[in-house]
Amino acid sequence: MKESSYDVLIVGGGFSGATTAWHLAGRGYRVLLIDSKPWNRIGDKPCGDAVSKDHFDDLKMPYPQGEELEQKVAGIRLYSPDMKTVWTVKGEGFELNAPAYNQRILKEAQSKGVEIMDLTTASSPLLENGVMKGAVIFNRRTNETIKINAKITVDATGNARSLRMKLPPEIPVAEDLDDRDADVAYREEAITVQDIEEPEYLRIFVSQKAAPGGYWWYFPKGERKVNVGLGIQGGMGYGSVHEYYRKYLKVYAPDIKEVVVRGGALVPTRRPLTSLVWDGMVVVGDSAFTVNPVHGGGKGSAMISGFCAAKAITNALEAGSYDKQSLWEMNLCYIDKYGQKQASLELFRKFLQRLPDEDIDFGMRKGLIKEEDLMEVSVKGSLKLSVAEKAGRLLSGLARPSLLIKLKTVASYMAKVKELYNNYPLTYSELPRWKDSLYEMYAQFDAALDQ
């Protein structure tokens, strides 16, 4: 078998893998990125394609431009289930042509020395004495099987999780996904019959009836094209996402005529992997469960994970040591930038998924949580207790005591879990004890919600 050696092997060239490569490029390391898809399809995956501008600013990534940008976003209009209340949450963002932007990032990394092989799949990880040493890959262009030795291997395989799930289950990065901690999502891109009103506003429709445990979206891609779809919670026996799509499409997107793209995929909606690193290995993006648990957006956080991975990998390579402790900075960086917010939002997601439509209608109509509070929740992952107090005043006498109690419970657990993540262990040896505390807290939270 042919054999090659690299400092870093990145498996997967979607947003997370491409960003990892982009941040590693030009530093003098031998980096190989492979993707199963042909070049012109990398980055082409079912997605709503909406990403907040903040992510590009924070990570100093170039803005999408030209054909990479389909629509500038000014904010979101959030519709209550009965459609009687509409909230506007302002915030700049982009509706991307994701493959075009993704491929540009890859080309920039390539121009700075990253080697890229398309049509190439990692078939098995090389694990020696429990240490990741690279992977066996198959290149369909050259018909070659190649053993790639790498000091550090990055699993950026998206929801396929195709590298890390081949590791023995006792290795922490092999952690599996509970079906209920994922949304089954489906979307189509379609041409509309007439010009879309306010194409700069994304529309989100909450409805347990039409999208149980998830929501519908209508994201304009210019004046005459829209990305429309829905996500529903997995593992609950809700039935097929396609049936919901067909049944409710006319309600949320009455104006579409010609479908140009269709497809669906799974979206993890939980806290990140308990550890995103192992000896010789880093996990990024959907494979590491980096998606926002409430809105299901994962491209921005995939970029954050790529940024953190590149930082940790660079320092490990500089130090000449690639074990989990040398790569631990990945965990600390990601948790600080996004992971602790995800953990807190996972609790909020569990709360929202249990709310009946009438409570959501009521809460939005009465302003129990306001648009600005929603911003605070989505930006910082904190639900202010003052919100729950205010809700208490509004709810007293309105015969919804259970909603109040739950809102208070959620707010306090969200603060607690953030605190726990702020004390994420500095060494691997402390991880099992920390994980026990986390699981205990989640179990208590679930029990409190089910009361």
Ligand X SMILES: Cc1cc2nc3c(=O)[nH]c(=O)nc-3n(C[C@H](O)[C@H](O)[C@H](O)COP(=O)(O)OP(=O)(O)OC[C@H]3O[C@@H](n4cnc5c(N)ncnc54)[C@H](O)[C@@H]3O)c2cc1C
**Binding flags for ligand X, 118-137, as an x/- string (CB under 6 A):** ---xx---------------
CA dist., res. 49 & res. 43, Å (int): 11
Residue 109 interacts with ligand X (CB under 6 A)?
Answer: no
Task: Report if residue 49 touches ligand X, rule: CB under 6 A.
Answer: yes
């924070």: which residue's tokens? Answer: 58
- In contact, 299 and 98? CB cutoff 8 Å: yes
Count, residues near ligand X per rule CB under 6 A: 42
**Which residue, 185 or 387, is less far from ligand X as judged by CB?**
185
Structure tokens at 161: 């999780």
- Build a one-symbol-per-residue string for 341-360: x at contacts with ligand X by CB under 6 A, - elsewhere: --------------------
Which range in 103-111, 158-166, 243-251, 419-427 contacts ligand X by CB under 6 A? 158-166
Instruction: Single out the segment in contact with ligand X by CB under 6 A; choices: 2-10, 82-90, 262-270, 322-330.
Output: 262-270
At its nearest, how many Å lie between ligand X and the CB of residue 38? 10
Q: Which is closer to ligand X, CB of 34 or CB of 411?
A: 34
CA dihedral 135, 140, 146, 149 (to 10 degrees): -40
Closest distance to ligand X from the beta carbon of 265 (Å): 4
Between CA 301 and CA 323 the distance in angstroms is: 24
The residue range among 10-18, 60-68, 83-91, 376-384 that interacts with ligand X, by the rule CB under 6 A, is 10-18
Least distance to ligand X, CB of residue 384, Å: 25
Q: Which of 356, 364, 337, 342 is nearest to 414 (CA)?
A: 342
Q: With respect to ligand X, which residue has the nearer C-beta, 183 or 279?
A: 183
Out of 34, 167, 352, 411, which residue is the one contacting ligand X (CB under 6 A)? 34
Contact present, 234 and 182 (Cβ < 8 Å) = yes
- In angstroms, the CA 355 to CA 334 distance is 30
Which CB sits closer to ligand X, 12 or 234? 12
**Would you count residue 285 as binding ligand X (CB under 6 A)?**
yes
* Nearest distance in Å: CB 178, ligand X: 18
Which residue, among 84, 382, 341, 375, has the nearest Cα to 207 in the 3D structure? Answer: 84
CA distances from 4 to 47, 120, 143, 144, 220 (A): 35, 14, 16, 12, 45
Of 24 and 50, nearer to ligand X (C-beta) is: 50
Q: Can you tell me which of 16, 192, 233, 353 binds ligand X, judged by CB under 6 A?
A: 16
Element (H, E) at 105: helix 98-111
CA angle 107, 73, 369 (to 5 degrees): 125
Interaction of residue 45 with ligand X, rule CB under 6 A:
yes
* Distance from the Cα of residue 254 to its chain's centroid: 29
309 near ligand X, judged by CB under 6 A: no
C-beta of 46 vs 363, nearer to ligand X: 46
- Look-up of token digits 């009836």: 209
Q: How far is the CB of 347 from ligand X (least distance, A)?
A: 20
Cα–Cα distance between 314 and 349 in angstroms, integer? 35
**Shortest Å distance, C-beta 106 to ligand X:** 10
Among 9, 21, 33, 51, binds ligand X (CB under 6 A): 51
Residue 414: Cβ-neighbour burial (10 angstroms; 0-12, 13-18, 19+): buried
Place of tokens 């010009």: 195
Integer Cα distance of 25 and 19 in angstroms: 10
Nearer to ligand X, 189 or 279 (CB): 189
- Shortest separation between residue 80's beta carbon and ligand X, angstroms: 21
Q: Which residue, 211 or 355, is less far from ligand X as judged by CB?
A: 211
Range 174-203, binding ligand X (CB under 6 A)? 185, 187
- Using CB under 6 A as the binding rule, whether residue 12 contacts ligand X is answered as yes
- Of 59, 69, 131, 160, the residue at the interface with ligand X (CB under 6 A) is 160
* Contacts for 53 with CB less than 8 Å, ≥ 6 apart: 63, 91, 92, 93, 94
Decide: is 378 part of the binding site for ligand X (CB under 6 A): no
Question: Within 10 Å of residue 397's Cβ, how many Cβ atoms?
Answer: 8
State the nearest-atom distance from the C-beta of 329 to ligand X, in Å.
Answer: 20
Q: Quickly tell me which residue has 């995956």 as its tokens.
A: 45
Residue 234 interacts with ligand X (CB under 6 A)? no
Could you say whether residue 24 binds ligand X (CB under 6 A)?
no
Query: Are the CB atoms for 404 and 387 separated by under 8 Å?
Result: no
CA angle (381, 387, 392) in 5-degree steps:
140
Contact criterion met (CB below 8 Å) for 320 and 303? no
Q: Which residues contact ligand X (rule: CB under 6 A)? A: 11-17, 34-37, 42, 45-51, 121-122, 156-160, 162, 185, 187, 229, 264-265, 267, 285-286, 291, 296-300, 302
